[in-house]
């Protein structure tokens, strides 16, 4: 009769490996989110000042949403 013996350390090692892989996969997303949150206000502010925000409101709204999404996605960028 054989019994399957799994160690809790094996499960922890698997979990740790998956967590590290997830961090590596999310790194480019966080980088892009962070830098978009930095750069987009440089476009949004002149649009508001020049009055183009009213003329191109759907574009302006999309850029604001992209800025907010970038701020949320990039909040943990390069945090060691």
Half-sphere exposure of 48 (CA within 13 A, CB side): 9
Provide the pLDDT for residue 4. Answer: 59
In 3-state terms, what secondary structure has residue 77? coil
| Mean pLDDT of all residues belonging to the chain | 84
- What is the band of 25 on the pLDDT scale with cuts at 50, 70, 90? confident
pTM of the model: 0.69
Provide the pLDDT for residue 13. Answer: 66
Per the model's pLDDT, the better-predicted residue between 9 and 58 turns out to be 58
């Amino acid at each position: 009769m054989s019994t399957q013996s799994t160690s809790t350390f094996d499960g922890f090692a698997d979990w740790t490996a998956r967590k590290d892989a997830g961090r590596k996969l999310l790194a480019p997303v966080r980088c892009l989110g962070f830098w978009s949150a930095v750069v987009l206000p440089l476009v949004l502010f002149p649009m508001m000042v020049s009055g183009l925000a009213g003329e191109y409101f759907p574009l302006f709204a999309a850029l604001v949403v992209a800025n907010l999404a970038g701020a949320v996605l990039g909040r943990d960028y390069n945090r060691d």
